Amino acid sequence: QKEVEQDPGPLSVPEGAIVSLNCTYSNSAFQYFMWYRQYSRKGPELLMYTYSSGNKEDGRFTAQVDKSSKYISLFIRDSQPSDSATYLCAMSDAGGTSYGKLTFGQGTILTVHP
Amino acid sequence: SAVISQKPSRDICQRGTSLTIQCQVDSQVTMMFWYRQQPGQSLTLIATANQGSEATYESGFVIDKFPISRPNLTFSTLTVSNMSPEDSSIYLCSVVRATEAFFGQGTRLTVV
Residue B51: the pLDDT is 83
* A100 to B94: CB separation less than 8 angstroms, yes or no: yes
Indicate the residue of B41, B94, B101 with minimum beta-carbon distance to A106: B41
Residue A41: the pLDDT is 87
Highest mean pLDDT among A31-35, A99-103, B13-17, B38-42: B13-17
| Cβ contacts of B40 on chain A, cutoff 8 Å | 8, 106
Q: What is the pLDDT of residues A11-43, one digit of tens each?
A: 999 999 999 999 999 999 898 899 999 998 899
Residue of B nearest to A37 (CA): B103
pLDDT at A95 over 70: no
| Cβ contacts of B4 on chain A, cutoff 8 Å | 43
List, in sequence order, the alpha helices (H) in A1-88: none
Other CB atoms within a 10 A radius of the CB of residue A1 amount to 4
CA dist list (Å): B112 to A41, B83, B85, B87 = 20, 9, 6, 10
DSSP H or E segment with residue A86: strand A85-92
Phi then psi dihedrals of residue A102, to 5 deg: -105, 145
Residue A10: asked if its preceding bond is cis (omega within 30°), the reply is: yes
Least Cα separation, residue A54 to chain B (angstroms): 17
Residue A84: the pLDDT is 97
pLDDT at A99 over 80: no
pLDDT at A9 over 90: no
* B103 to A45: CB separation less than 8 angstroms, yes or no: yes
pLDDT at A96 over 80: no
Which amino acid belongs to residue A20? S
Mean pLDDT of B99-103: 86
CA B83 to chain centre: 15
State how far the Cα of A31 lies from the Cα of B65, in Å rounded to an integer: 32
Chain B CB within 8 Å of residue A21 CB: no
Indicate the residue of B41, B44, B99 with minimum beta-carbon distance to A49: B99
Closest CA to B13 of B66, B69, B76, B87: B87
Q: What is the pLDDT of residues B79-93, one digit of tens each?
A: 999 999 999 999 999
Q: Are A35 and A74 in contact (CB under 8 A)?
A: yes
Closest CA to A43 of B90, B44, B69: B90
Q: What is the pLDDT of residues A57-83, one digit of tens each?
A: 999 999 999 999 999 999 999 999 999
Residue B96: the pLDDT is 85
